[in-house]
Every structure is written in structure tokens, then in C-alpha cells.
A and B are shown apart, each in its own frame.
Chain A
Amino acid sequence: EAGVVQSPRYKIIEKKQPVAFWCNPISGHNTLYWYLQNLGQGPELLIRYENEEAVDDSQLPKDRFSAERLKGVDSTLKIQPAELGDSAVYLCASKVNSGANVLTFGAGSRLTVL
């Protein structure tokens, strides 16, 4: 079984530029999460999807961040414009709706804003 796939693994941009991250969850996993992990910190939830519906986006800074999961499978997280403080690792995770609440994480996308 393929795991959660994220791309790009690394991205370096200048401030005020846009950036997008892509996530392909495990097949059959209806719930998808985007987490932000700052250096030396634990991951913090940005947004959670149940199929194509965003059911918890209270932590997403909506002035510059946006996310979509149009067909309930792949998801994209966008930042526009990026700021220096956005430098972090963006993690995607997925899980099935039923059964144990076990999230499987991707390797993450490390963003550096110069």
C-alpha cells in the first residue's frame, strides 16, 4: 500500500511569492489533514477534510492560506503571498472514517521563505 505522498519535499521562495503544496492520501482514506510544524515544535492542525468538505478550518489563516480537495481525494494547500514566518514543514495526513483513529503522515514539504 502506498503511503501519503506529498510534493514538493523542499521549496525555497522569496517573500511575497506564492507557493502550493500537493498531497495524495492513502487510497480509501476519507479524512485528510494539513498540519504545520515549526522548528522544534509539535505539529498544529491547519485544516481537516471529510471527503471534499472542510469540517475544521478554524486554525487556517484565511487571509493568505487556502486549501482545496475538489474530488475528495488529492488536496492542495496554497500560500499567497508567503511571509518569512511561514517557513516551516507542512504535513499532510489521512485516515479512514471508521475504526481506530490512526493518522498516517506524509514525509512533509519543507518551506523556506527568504
Chain B
Amino acid sequence: GNSVTQMEGPVTLSEEAFLTINCTYTATGYPSLFWYVQYPGEGLQLLLKATKADDKGSNKGFEATYRKETTSFHLEKGSVQVSDSAVYFCALISNTGFQKLVFGTGTRLLVSP
């Protein structure tokens, strides 16, 4: 079945540092890929998405590129802020058959001033 693997956290960074959170996936066909973010005490929010190979999703300074050859969708940000502290989930959904959104286990990001 489809699955998503994320790097374990927590990831601890100082403000303005560069962020990478690794995500790889296993899926049949050509899924759509997502990053969701969960701030403390809040629900999941869509951060960015990509629907086909080589697409780059971007939002709020975050970026991720759909790499079919390496089955990856790594999240990056050039300069993190304290307000970026949250849990980040990589996810995929198949574009055929059962349209179930499958999540990774999440990576907690802690940014200190």
C-alpha cells in the first residue's frame, strides 16, 4: 500500500537557520503530495502541495519539489522564524482508486530566538 516516511524529530534550529525536513514515499501510480502543518492547539492546515513530477509547491517561504526519480518531497525554508515552530506532516493521496490521504508520522520543529 501507499506510505510516507519522514525524518524523526524534533528538529531544533535557531532563528534564521536553513530548514530541511526529509520525506520519501511509496505509492502506485502518480500521487499528489502535500505538506500539512499543525500549530500547537490547532488543527491541520495545508501548507503546500504538488500534483505531478517536478512540480514545486511553495507557501510562506516554504518549498518542496516533487521528485519522482527519488520518490521524495523534502520541505525546505531558507530562514526559519520562531513562529514556524509546529509539527509538519508529509502526506500523499492517490489520484486513482481509493482517495485516502496517507500521512507520515510528523516532524516537530522547534525554533529558538
Contact = CB atoms under 8 A, between A and B. Distances in A.
The answer to whether A and B belong to the same complex is yes
Interface of A: 31, 33, 40-45, 48, 55-56, 91, 93, 100-108
15 contacts: A31-B99, A41-B106, A42-B91, A42-B106, A43-B44, A45-B101, A48-B99, A101-B32, A101-B93, A102-B46, A103-B93, A104-B46, A105-B43, A105-B44, A108-B43
Contact of B103 (A44, A48, A100): A44
Given A33-B101, A42-B105, A48-B100, 19 more contacts: A31-B99, A40-B105, A41-B105, A42-B4, A42-B106, A44-B103, A45-B100, A45-B102, A55-B98, A56-B98, A100-B51, A101-B32, A101-B95, A103-B46, A105-B43, A105-B44, A105-B45, A106-B43, A108-B43
A103 B43 contact: no
Interface string B29-57: 00010101000001111100101000000
Chain B: interface size category: 20 to 34
Contacts of A105: 36, 43-45
B105 A103 contact: no
Contacts of B104: 42
Contacts of A107: 42-43
Contact of A91 (B43, B46, B51): B43
A105 B42 CA distance: 10
B73 interface: no
A106 B32 CA distance: 21
Nearest to A110: B41
Contacts of B49: 100, 102
Nearest to A107: B43
Contact of A42 (B51, B98, B100, B103): B103
A111 B99 CA distance: 27
